[in-house]
Amino acid sequence: MPHARIFTSAIRQFAAWLLALAASVMLAAPAMAQAAQPGDPLIGSDNIAVTLHAEGTPAEGKEWLLALHFVPKGPEWHGYWSNPGDAGAGMVLNLNLPPDWEVGEPRYPVPKRLVVAGLMNHVYEGPYTVLVPVTPGPSVKSFAGPVGGTVDYLACTDQICVPQFARLSASAGGDFARWRAGAAPLLDARAAFAISGKTLRLAIPLPEGMGLSDPHVFVANKQLISYSAAQTFRRKGDLLVAEIPLDEFGTGKAESLSGILAFGEGSGVRFAADLGTVPTGGEQVAGPKNTAAPPLWTLVLGALLGGLLLNIMPCVFPILSLKAIALARAGESEATARAEGLAYTAGVVIACIGLGALLLALRAAGEQVGWAFQLQQPGVVVGLLVLAAAITANFAGLFELPAISVSMGAEKTGAFATGLLAAFVATPCTGPFMAAALGAALLLPVGQALLLFALLGLGLALPFLLLGFVPPLRRMLPKPGAWMERFRRIMAIPMGLTALALVWLTVQLGGRGFGVVALVLVAGVLLGLFVVGKLQRSGKMAWPAFGLLAAPFLAFALIALPNVYEAKAGAVRASILASQPFSADALAKARAEGKPVFLYFTADWCVTCKVNEASSIERESTRAAFEKAGVVTIVGDWTRRDAAITQFLTEQGAAGVPLYLWYAPGAQRPEQLPQVLTPDLLEDLASGDR
C-alpha cells in the first residue's frame, strides 16, 4: 500500500531490487524455459502480453522479419531493453527454426530512462515491438511452418518485478510498416571509441546540423559504463563525441561497442563502434555544466559566506538572538562566554558534517538525493513541526527547557544542543554563495567535501562564536533586564510562524488527513508541556508527567500517520503561469519547438524559492511578458524526493534548490540565472532586453 512508503521506502526499494536481481538470474538460465510445464507459475504473460508475428513468406537467403509485440496490461508496467541497466532483465528468446536458418540481432525501439531507488533502468512504457531478422537456409523449401518458440522476459512496476514466460506461435500479418518505423535505424557509418582512464569516449558520425534536444547513449555492452552517471556531449564537425564514466566495478574493457543514441522525444539511431581515435575538443552541447570544480579557495569562501547568511533565516534568527542575549547576560565571565561560543559552534559544525556525510553516503549507495534531503521525508517534517511548536511554547513562557532557555544561558550543553538545532532547521535552502560550494561537494573527494560542509557550519556559527570571543561585541548588546523576557516572548512570533509553515508543508507532503493527525500530535505535546510548566512553577518534578500525557498521542500518531498518508498530495502546483511539470521529455519537446524555455526547480520547504516566486515569478507582468514571447515554463517540484530532478540538478552542478535556467531559442546550453531573482529579470529575458 502506498502509505507504507513513509517509513519503509528504503526497505521496499531494496526488496524490489533483490527481486529484479533474482529474476535476472532466473532469466539467464534458458534451461528453465525448456523444463517449464503447463501449469507452472512462470507460464503466462498476465502483466505484459506478447504475440509473435511473421512478415510474408520466407525465402532462401533473404531477410525475413519476425516481430515480438508486447502490450502491458496497464500503464504502471514496463519491459526492458536488451541491456536493462542497473536492474531488471532483458528477454531470452528461443525459436524453433531449422539449423541452417540464421537469426540476427533483435532490433529494439529507443528505450527510456527510469530511475528507481537510485538504479538506472532502460525500459519501455506502453506497447512496444522487437523485430527479429531471420535469414532462411536451403531447408526453407521443405519448411511447413509455423515458427514457434518460447520467450522469457520481465515485467516490472516501480514496486515489484514479475518474471514472465510465453509459448509462441507466429501468425501472419501485423503492422510491420509501423513497427519498422518504431525500431531505431542503424547508422551506415561505423563509430569509433576509446577508453581513457575512467571514461569511455565515443565518436558517432552525425551531421553537424542535426538537432539534439536530450541526447543519451544506451550502451549494449554490459558491465562497462556507469548507467546513472551524467553523459557529456560535444560537437566536432560531423562527429558527436560522447564522454561516459565507466562502471567502477565493471570490466573496463571492450573489443567492440554497440548501442542506441537517443536524440530525445523517443527518436534515435543504432550504432556499432570499433576501437579507434576519438578527437578531443569541440563545443559542448549537452551534459554537466562544469566537469571540473572551481578552485578550492573559492568554494571554501562560498561555504563560509553561505553559512553566515543562514543566520537571517526566520527559523534560525530567533534561536540565535536569544542565545546571544543569554551570552551577554553571562558576559561577566570571559571563560564562560568562550566555552559557550565553542560549544554552540561544535554543535553546528558536527550537525553540518553529519548531514553532509549522510548525503555523500546515500549518493555513493546509488540514492538520488541532494541538500536538505531530510525535509523530503514526511516523518522528519512532522518531527520538525513538533519541535518548532515546542520551541514556540518555550519562547512564550509555557515551560522552561534548559537547552534553549534564556535562564540557562551559561550551560555549555544547552549551547551545544542549540547549535545542533540551528544547523538542522537552517538546511532547507541554499543561498547565493552556498550553491557552488555544495554543488562541488558532490564531485570532490570525500575529505574536501566534508571540509566544505564543516565550513558551512562554521559560517552559520560565526556570529555567536565572535560574541563569545570578542568582548566589545558583547558590550554592544543591550544590557540585561526585564525587557529580555518580553523579547523572548516576541521571538515566539517568528517561531510560531515557522511552525505554521511546517503545518502547511506537512499537508503538502502527506495530505489533509496527514496534517490533521500531525496537529493532534502537536496538541498532545503542547498539553504535556503546559502541565510541565505548571509543575515547574510550583517546584515539583515535571517531566514524568509530560511522558504520561504525551505517550498516548505519540502512539496514536505512529499508527495513524502511515494510514492517512496520501502519496500524491501536492503533486500539482498552482501558478498564474501556464507551466508544466518537469521531465526530460517535456524539456526536450519544448526546446525542439524553438521557443524560449524557463525551467526552474523549487520546493515548498525552500524559503528562498518562495520569496523568488512571490517577487519575480508569480507576477502578472511576468505572465504577460511570457505570453507575448511564447515562453514555455517548466517547473520541477522537489518538495518530495524525485530521482530524475536530483540527477538533473547534479548535472547542472547544483546540490539543491532553487535553480533557475533560461534556454534561449536554438541555444545548446541554458543560462543559469542568479539564485536571488530581481523583479524585472524574467521580463527582461522574455523581451530580449538582457
Q: What is the arithmetic mean of pLDDT over 120-149?
A: 93
| pLDDT, position 435 | 60
| pLDDT, position 118 | 73
Lowest-confidence region among 170-174, 232-236, 254-258, 262-266: 262-266
Q: Please list, in sequence order, all residues whose beta carbon lies within 8 angstroms of the beta carbon of residue 577, skipping any fewer than 6 positions away.
A: 617, 618, 622, 623, 626, 633
| pLDDT-derived band at 626, boundaries 50, 70, 90 | very high
Strands 267-275 and 256-264: antiparallel
Q: What is the arithmetic mean of pLDDT over 300-324?
A: 74
| pLDDT, position 73 | 93
| pLDDT-derived band at 21, boundaries 50, 70, 90 | very low
Percent of the chain whose predicted confidence (pLDDT) is above 90: 39
Strand order of the sheet with strand 659-663?
579-581, 632-637, 597-602, 659-663, 671-672
| pLDDT, position 610 | 85
Evaluate whether 342 touches 468 at the Cβ level (below 8 Å). Answer: yes
Strands 239-245 and 256-264: unpaired
Evaluate whether 464 touches 324 at the Cβ level (below 8 Å). Answer: yes
pLDDT over 50 (residue 366)? yes
CA 12: distance to chain centroid? Answer: 18
- Which residue segments constitute the domains of the chain, with CATH numbers given? 2-182 (2.60.40.1250), 191-286 (2.60.40), 296-374+401-488 (no CATH), 579-687 (3.40.30.10)
| pLDDT, position 570 | 42
The closest of 457, 463, 436, 461 to 352, measured between CA atoms, is 457
| pLDDT, position 410 | 41
| pLDDT, position 325 | 62
Mean pLDDT score across all residues of the chain = 82
Tell me the torsion sign for CA atoms 594, 598, 602, 604. Answer: negative
pLDDT over 90 (residue 320)? no
The closest of 434, 437, 453 to 293, measured between CA atoms, is 437
| pLDDT-derived band at 230, boundaries 50, 70, 90 | confident
Q: What is the pLDDT of residues 422-470, one digit of tens each?
A: 787 776 555 555 666 676 676 678 888 899 889 988 998 898 888 888 8
Lowest-confidence region among 240-254, 643-657, 660-674: 643-657
Evaluate whether 661 touches 632 at the Cβ level (below 8 Å). Answer: no
Q: Output the nine-digit C-alpha cell for 249.
A: 566495478
Q: What is the arithmetic mean of pLDDT over 512-538?
A: 92
- Integer angstrom CA distances of residue 308 from 322, 367, 375, 460: 17, 29, 21, 5
Q: What is the pLDDT of residues 581-619, one digit of tens each?
A: 998 888 888 887 888 999 999 988 887 788 889 999 999
Lowest-confidence region among 28-32, 372-376, 398-402, 579-583: 28-32
| pLDDT-derived band at 328, boundaries 50, 70, 90 | low
Lowest-confidence region among 145-149, 438-442, 470-474: 438-442
| pLDDT, position 623 | 92
pLDDT over 70 (residue 90)? yes
Task: Tell me the DSSP string of 163-189.
Answer: EEEEEEE-EE---HHHHHHHBPPBPSS
The Cβ of residue 190 has, within 10 Å, a number of other Cβ atoms equal to 14
In the block, cell 521506502 appears at 9
Evaluate whether 57 touches 137 at the Cβ level (below 8 Å). Answer: no
| pLDDT, position 484 | 75
| pLDDT, position 299 | 80
Rounded CA-CA distance 494/506 in Å is 18
| pLDDT-derived band at 658, boundaries 50, 70, 90 | confident
The closest of 372, 376, 371, 313 to 570, measured between CA atoms, is 376
Evaluate whether 195 touches 276 at the Cβ level (below 8 Å). Answer: no
pLDDT over 90 (residue 409)? no
Of residues 312 and 164, more confidently modeled: 164
pLDDT over 70 (residue 567)? no
Lowest-confidence region among 233-237, 284-288, 681-685: 284-288
Lowest-confidence region among 154-163, 221-230, 668-677: 668-677
Rounded CA-CA distance 439/601 in Å is 15
Q: What is the arithmetic mean of pLDDT over 473-498?
A: 80
For residue 471, cis peptide bond before it (omega within 30 degrees of 0): no
| pLDDT, position 314 | 61
